[in-house]
Structure 1
């Protein structure tokens, strides 16, 4: 009887873990990692939302960060607790890759202590204490969906708590008014290049654009050990312009002139 009781308890515990909070559902743009459980769900609500584009800190009781996106719109969020066999990093990467396959563009990406304090992300940005954990175990990413959904942002935040429980928070924001031009940070471009091996800018089909030229050159110069190929219809023009911006010529090769827009690929 004692063995049977333990078996029933184990089964109930397993079933309990598999159950999502009532009324919750996944967001269509981000697939759920196998065996993940929804532990917090907030249905669409109209809010004035601020998404940081930099490391966050608190000074004199006020949140501070280098840049931000501020808009009013509908916000929906889902928080997953991950099963022990999947890490927060794994869930974060799977979500990022799924969104990029849909053409989403990265705006700001930070990891570990580069993000600032986890307590501020959990309590001040997302209002969810479950997301508070070790600073070195966090990651945050803000993306913009591709047209015609380009007035929609998706925020990802992953964390591993001190008790080793891992969480992935996914927030979708649909702005009520056009968001206009939003540019990634140079550090985000470098992180993307190192993580995925390439940067693709399908919209950059003409001669070098000054704004994008500054962002890309700064990103490349954040790590002067990286070598890349520059491809696209105006590849050589971009390569020369990047040299003029201070990127060493020896670090860049001209690749194919085919393809849509500018493409920068990491030479392994």
Structure 2
């Protein structure tokens, strides 16, 4: 690895170049170094770097599926900012599991927040990730060999940043790690706007949807930071459909207590939705406590799910 001084100088030069060019790519970039926000895997080689300034970017926060001819994620957020994309080729003595564990450790070490993760077939088709999301054919490989991770910078960071990571081992056993860093800025698209059309398509296609961004206080009332406007829009866009609103709760308490807490949470969300204009006949609140964990998409403990009746 180059020294930290060289690392910072590269990104300063890249930034100056990109003032006049909205997008610039460097292939066969073996002399370039890591982005300051995240360390590349040891002994890996950067084979491509791309920078885009002040763009509207979609962060994928769920597995992928094709609906009505379009590839859509279970959940996503729209951000505006500067985007740096780096593709690493991994030394052949390491596996995708090694690379995935290395970056998960960085999440902890840097006090980043893990927003979503998946592995293997739970992520969806590798073809979708390679060709529809990242638009890099080199990232296509067997589904069982893929990993995806999204993280957010620590709360005290000078610039709010999001980092998405995709790892794949191709059929020829070459492994790659593709990283996209979004440094939030600009003013055209506000942060944390959920793509309701993506959510709706995923829900109707799969029959259920884990709802992002819903948090509760210790007394099981909704957190003041929870914004249900995306869910109101989703329901009102499908007025002829009826749904179960299901909450999941885990913990060390007796099963009866966990069941009651999950029912309380479901009723709390339902009341808020009805107060925001959703028809009471469109949703049925249910709680299942810890009885139906969903680990395949990185959700195993507490979450809220919308299920098509």
Tell whether the structures are fold-level matches, with TM greater than 0.5.
yes
CA distance in 2, matches of 1:77, 1:136: 24
- Structure 2 CA distance for aligned equivalents of residues 102 and 204 of structure 1: 26
- Runs of 4+ in structure 1 deviating by more than 3 angstroms, as ranges, are 185-188, 203-209, 237-246
- Does structure 2 retain, via aligned residues, the 8 Å contact 1:25–1:41? no
Q: Secondary structure at the match of 1:43?
A: strand
The question of whether the paired residues in 1 share the 8 Å contact of 2:107 and 2:114 is answered with no
- How do residues 196-211 of structure 1 correspond to structure 2 at under 5 angstroms? 207-210=219-222
* Contact preservation (8 Å) 1:21, 1:41: yes
Matched-pair contact (CA < 8 Å) for 2:89–2:175? yes
- Select which of 121, 125, 128 maps to 1:113: 121
Structure 2 partner of 1:5: none
- Establish whether residue 247 from structure 1 lines up as the match of residue 281 from structure 2: no
1:41-85: CA deviation from partner (whole Å, max 9, x where unpaired): 113433221122222122333222221111221100111111111
Distance change in 2, residues 1:242/1:98 (3 Å): same
Change (3 A) 1:147 1:107: same
How many residues in Structure 1 have an aligned counterpart in Structure 2? 204
More off after superposition, 172-181 vs 110-119: 172-181
Gap regions ≥5 residues in structure 1: 1-19, 189-202, 221-227, 231-236, 250-263
Is residue 85 from structure 1 mapped to residue 97 from structure 2 by the alignment?
no
Q: Is the CA contact (8 Å cut-off) linking 1:89 and 1:158 kept in structure 2?
A: no
Q: Which residue of 1 aligns with 2:80?
A: 72
Mapped pair 1:173 → 2:182: yes
Q: 1:159 aligns with which of 156, 161, 168?
A: 168
> Which of 139, 144, 147 is matched with 2:155 structurally?
147
Note the aligned Cα RMSD (angstroms): 3.8
Q: Relative to 1, partners in 2 of residues 1:239 and 1:145: Cα closer, same or farther, differing over 3 Å?
A: farther
Q: Which residue of 1 aligns with 2:141?
A: 133
Matched, 1:41 2:40: no
| Per-residue deviation, 1:93 | 1.6
Q: Provide the secondary structure at the position in 1 that maps to 2:183.
A: strand
**Equivalent residue of 2:138, what SS?**
helix
The answer to whether the 8 Å contact 2:95/2:175 transfers is: yes
Relative to 1, partners in 2 of residues 1:86 and 1:58: Cα closer, same or farther, differing over 3 Å?
A: same
Please, what TM-score do these two structures have when normalized by structure 2? 0.55
The alpha-carbon distance between structure 1 residues 84 and 248, as it changes in their structure 2 partners (threshold 3 A), is: closer
* Cα drift, residue 125 of structure 1: 1.0
Over residues 157-208 of structure 1, what are the superposed CA-to-partner deviations in whole Å (9 max), with x where a residue is unaligned? 10010000111111100122563599xx9699xxxxxxxxxxxxxx988644
Equivalents in 2 of 1:126, 1:205: separation in Å? 37
Match of 2:17 in 1: none
- In structure 1, what is the equivalent of residue 105 of structure 2? 97
Structure 2 CA distance for aligned equivalents of residues 22 and 80 of structure 1: 9
Structure 2: which 5+ runs fail to align? Answer: 1-27, 195-208, 227-246, 265-286, 292-300, 302-309
* SS of 1:210 mapped into structure 2: coil
1: distance between equivalents of 2:258 and 2:96? 37
